[in-house]
Amino acid sequence: MADTRARLQALVQELIPLAEKYEEPAPGAFGIEDPLITKAKELIAQAQAPVDYATSLMVTTLEAISLRTLLQLNALQAIPASGSISLTDFSTKSGVQDSLLERLLRVPVNANFIDQDSTSGEYSHTHLSQGFTDPNSMPCRLFSFIYDEGLGGLMPLLPQYLTHQHAQTGKWEEPGASRDSTRFNIQTWHANVEGVKTAFEVMEMNPERMKRFQTSMAIGEQLNPFVGYYNFDKLAVSSDEEEADRKALVDVGGGQGLALAAILKAHPSLKPTHCVLQDTAPVIALAQTSNPANLPPGITYQPHDFFLAQPILNAKAYYLKAIAHDLSDANLVAVLRELVAVMAADSRALIAENVLPERGGSGVMALMDLMMMGIGGKERTEEGFRRVLRQAGLVVDWVHRAGGGRNYAIVEARLE
């Protein structure tokens, strides 16, 4: 006990200078990784017994469930921006039964997410709850997406799925490690189409869910910018290369072209006629007809399955943003080998992804890694990328990091 008290007192002293140095996180960065918060977590862990830790996990789970329910009911908007509100008025304004509201609010009040006056019992916003009053805000969209697709959806099934996979393969391993991870994963198993459809085909079975998924992709630009840390200008095609009809940039699995549009806007030396947008036929059709990314004229739109032979030869760069983390190591190697087969000596593969620290590191990235496991994918460390690239016949030239407290980077690779 004396040792625990001494350690707690030492941690409290370590918190003081960290609090004095604390600064608001940069846009797109997560303040949860700030040294002050990390040290505070260490203090709490030191003070907890194992049973306290188990209880705190259950309470945190209930906090997420309570918040997602309040968002679904559009209840937080009923709390005034300034001042407080009684339970009766809260119920009248939100249209939610007073008893249900009271029970849902107990957990967020206990977590200091919402304030409740100890005398009057009235509720008021904190700086945290205020950030969730706009359904289109980044905190709302990010939390709802992660909850709906991960925490409240498939990830609680991970223990059962690994047991199911072990019964089939005799191995305790990552989902789909010994099979095609796009078709053998938690999502396809839960939908009873394991081995038949891919995780994304499962999502397409529910148009509303697919719409939410596509909308959530816009969060990526807020968290991980498309430009500003890699010099795409060096990909500009020379006159001789233009005569040979060489392409500057092939956006492999580029969706509706949000990243490509941002790159072209920031790097005018790249001509649209030298760029190719590839994805599945339905996605390309949408990009061409509605052009949600506002892509300029001249781009080549090409339906393409990146597991098949790459049709564009000798491009200066093949760009894969948010593709690698959808895939197992074996499937990523298969995709990269299709690029290796058509790359020139000076061609580059550009993989835009989160790059995890080799040890410890971000709780947010650990969360995303487990979420990707649900569809048979994974986040990787720099060494993890180097290992997969070597297997495909590529070697890393440079890792261009976005900075600003982010783990995001472009991994640039060339032929061995």
Q: Which residues pair with 394 in a beta bridge?
A: 415
Picking from 204-208, 234-238, 355-359, 373-377, which range would have the lowest pLDDT averaged per residue?
204-208
Task: Compute how many other C-beta atoms are within 10 angstroms of the C-beta atom of residue 157.
Answer: 15
User: Which amino acid does the sequence have at 15?
Assistant: L
| CA distances for 122 relative to 67, 80, 93, 114, 299, angstroms | 18, 11, 14, 10, 57
Q: Among the listed ranges 143-147, 211-215, 312-316, 384-388, which one has the minimum average pLDDT value?
A: 211-215
Q: Is 100 helix (H, G, I), strand (E, B) or coil?
A: helix
pLDDT of 34 reads 81
Q: Give 319's pLDDT tier (boundaries 50, 70, 90).
A: very high
182-193 burial code (b ≥16 CB/10 A, e <16): bbbbbbbbbbeb
- Going by pLDDT thresholds of 50, 70 and 90, the confidence category of residue 406 is confident
Quick: pLDDT tens for 304-317.
999 999 999 999 99
Question: By CB neighbour count within 10 A (0-12 exposed, 13-18 middle, 19+ buried), where does 1 fall?
Answer: exposed
Element (DSSP H or E) covering residue 337: helix 329-340
Question: How far is 317 from 250, CA to CA, in rounded Å?
Answer: 6
The H helix count followed by the E strand count for the chain is 18, 10
Query: Which residue, among 17, 51, 55, 53, has the nearest Cα to 36 in the 3D structure?
Result: 17
Per domain, the residue ranges of the chain are 1-134, 148-222, 224-415
Q: How far apart are CA 284 and CA 304, in angstroms?
A: 9
Return d(Cα 42, Cα 46) in angstroms, integer.
Answer: 6
Top-confidence residue, 222 or 106: 106
Residue with tokens 């600003």: 404
Q: What percent of the chain has pLDDT over 90?
A: 72
CATH number corresponding to 1-134? 1.10.10.10
Token digits of residue 188: 């396809």
Cα atoms in the Cβ-side hemisphere of radius 13 Å centred on 276: 24
CB 100 within 8 A of CB 94: no
Q: The domain 224-415: what is its CATH number?
A: 3.40.50.150
- Encoded tokens for 368: 């995303």
